[in-house]
Amino acid sequence: MIINHLSKKVMKKIILALIVSAFCMNGQGTNIGITNVGVTFSPSDVTITQNDVITFTLFTVHNAVEVSQATWNANGSTPLSGGFNVPFGGGSLSGSNLSVGIHYYICENHISLGMKGTITVEAVASVPDIKTLQDVSIYPNPAKDYLTVQYNTAETSNVLEINLYDLQGKLVLVLIPKTEVAGIFSRSISINNGIRGGIYIVRILSGEKTTFQKVIIF
């Protein structure tokens, strides 16, 4: 029992270390989109890393201005000194320009109607790269209701297994159980089952190869 418990703890640490490594795949980040639905940011709350970029696509009457938490809680509009300011009509915001932590923002014209949101920024660990499998593609990213997995192998057959983990290394969802595939394989998996929005890591096992891909779910 003690050995089994220790083995589980060691395996979890290994998975967590590999997940952290996945954040540094080729130094590439994800582009996350925020738009407006009426006088609401959608999605209003996002979690990113400092490698990511947020693109605001807004009507010309909306902007996104960073404020203090106290101002945000009070539905005020006083900009935070040194905070970000996305102009009316939208624009891009790089995670590399944001400090790690929670950033609070509002629309100056419509904060009285509660138009506000948050951006949680997580640090990117500096660890060696992990190469991705060119044969596997997972989309859309960011995703909301489903993820589609496509796999193309030149081998006669290969065993494929794909799982979804959170940033603590906990298994959240088995996307593809151990499945023998050949040629072109495609499957859409529902993720609209209570999974909270945020950053997740997909672990892909293909034969003796293992790779990781970061996905955003909102």
Report CA-CA distances (Å) from 4 to 1, 7, 8, 10, 165. Answer: 5, 5, 6, 10, 21
Residue 61 sits at the vertex; the CA angle it makes with 57 and 66, to the nearest 5 degrees, is 70
The pLDDT tens digits of the residues spanning 127-146 come to 434 444 567 888 898 888 89
Write down the mean pLDDT value for the chain: 82
Show the tokens assigned to 52. 């990511």
Q: Which domains does the chain have, with CATH numbers?
A: 27-122 (2.60.40.420), 136-217 (2.60.40.3880)
Show the tokens assigned to 16. 């967590």
Cα 7 to chain centroid distance, Å, stands at 29
pLDDT grade for 65, boundaries at 50, 70 and 90: very high
The pLDDT tens digits of the residues spanning 3-62 come to 444 455 555 555 555 555 544 444 456 788 999 999 999 999 998 888 889 999 999 999
**Predicted TM-score (pTM) above 0.85:** no
Query: Which H or E run contains 104?
Result: strand 101-106
Q: How far apart are CA 110 and CA 125, in angstroms?
A: 37
pLDDT grade for 125, boundaries at 50, 70 and 90: low
Cα 28 to chain centroid distance, Å, stands at 13
pLDDT grade for 104, boundaries at 50, 70 and 90: very high
